[in-house]
Amino acid sequence: MIYVLNGPNLGRLGTREPSVYGSTTHADLVDLCLTTGERLGVRVEVRQTDAEHEMIAWLHQAADEGADVVLNPAAWSHYNIAIRDAAAQLSGRLVEVHISNIHTREEFRHHSVISAVATGVIAGLGTDGYRLALEHLARFAA
Ligand code: DQA
């Protein structure tokens, strides 16, 4: 199983600042990830939450299962040590994805506290970043 975990405000994709995040909705993103999983022959589950405790529980579950994770921590990327500590417990691979290029945006978005515990990071490629992350992880899927 590969978990795709999306943090706060990503449920509002499509209507949320479309000039930054595009017109793809979260439902479209779920479709993209599930279709990609089917094509690659890997099981994919997509979840989104605005609640920190829920994201931490999902990361604990992924850690207990040894699962790989695609994580868009959204705003938590920039300050949330509890999410980082949960991500650090993963034994599978972790690909951090950002739809926008956080490095070309406001200064406070330039640093992610998650990146140091991620296997790799994709930023700025829109929702295509999720597809690329899944293609990468599928190479390691048992
Ligand atoms: C984001 C970038 C973050 O800075 C922002 O808080 C988000 C989304 C992205 O996907 O580009 O909510 O992670």
Beta strands 120-123 and 2-6 are: unpaired
Based on the residue annotation, tell me whether 3 is a catalytic residue of this protein.
no
| Cα 67 to middle of ligand 1, angstroms | 23
| Cα 72 to middle of ligand 1, angstroms | 7
- pLDDT tens sequence across 97-115: 999 999 999 999 999 999 9
CATH number for position 9: 3.40.50.9100
pLDDT of residue 124: 98
Q: What is the ipTM of this complex?
A: 0.99
pLDDT of residue 141: 79
Based on the residue annotation, tell me whether 98 is a catalytic residue of this protein.
yes
Number of domains in the chain: 1
Residue 123 belongs to domain spanning: 2-138
pLDDT of residue 142: 63
- pLDDT tens sequence across 56-110: 999 999 999 999 999 999 999 999 999 999 999 999 999 999 999 999 999 999 9
* Helices vs strands, H then E, count in the chain: 5, 5
Is 109 labelled a binding residue?
yes
Residue closest by Cα to atom 13 of ligand 1:
74
| pTM confidence score | 0.97
- CA torsion through residues 115, 121, 125, 126, sign: negative
The angle that helices 128-138 and 26-40 make with each other, rounded to 10 degrees, is 30
